[in-house]
Amino acid sequence: MSGDSASSGEVVDARGLLCPLPVIRLAERFDDLPAGEGMDLLADDPAAEDDVRLWCRGRGYTVESVSREGRTVRIRVRKSG
* Type and span of the H or E element at 67: strand 62-69
19 is catalytic: yes
Q: Among the options 11, 17, 19, 42, which is catalytic? A: 19
End-to-end CA distance of the chain: 28
CA angle 73, 36, 1 (to 5 degrees): 20
Give the catalytic positions in this structure: 19
